[in-house]
Amino acid sequence: GSCGHRCCPGRNNACWVPGARRARCYCDSYCERTGDCCEDYRAACRRAAVGCAVGPWGPWSGCSSPCGVGSEARSRQVAVPPRHGGEPCPDLKQRRGCLGEHPTCGTAE
């Protein structure tokens, strides 16, 4: 089968053409993981692929709890979105635990 101009990003079960012995071969970027790409997939589809590019991580937020266990988060932006089956974007948000230690913690009212 020939992908020709039938290249699809991501997983797309409708993106196939008849292959050898009437079996389906796929022209979506997920076919590289499943191993059922058409013979010309790389030449026809990957050539124009653009992988995701992200910017730097922003600063961590403050702890969500002023006293005790909480969490902080940070994020980053997509600089170049993936196109034509290119590599997908990595995580854009991160979260980690923190311990709030505000000066008023532990004081009784």
Query: pLDDT digits over 26-77, tens only?
Result: 998 888 889 998 888 888 886 666 788 999 999 999 999 998 899 999 999 9
**In the chain, which segments carry CATH 2.20.100.10?**
54-108
11 or 50, greater pLDDT: 11
Residues 6 or more apart in contact with residue 27 via CB below 8 angstroms: 3, 6, 7, 8, 15, 16, 17, 37, 38, 41, 44, 45
> What does pTM read for this prediction?
0.53
Q: What's the pLDDT at 84? A: 66
Query: pLDDT digits over 79-90, tens only?
Result: 988 876 677 899
Write out the two tokens for 39.
């013979």
Superfamily of domain 54-108 in CATH is Thrombospondin type-1 (TSP1) repeat (2.20.100.10)
- Sequential DSSP letters for 35-86: T-B-TTHHHHTGGG-B--EE----PPPPPS-SEEEEEEEEE--EEE--BTTP
Q: What's the pLDDT at 54? A: 93
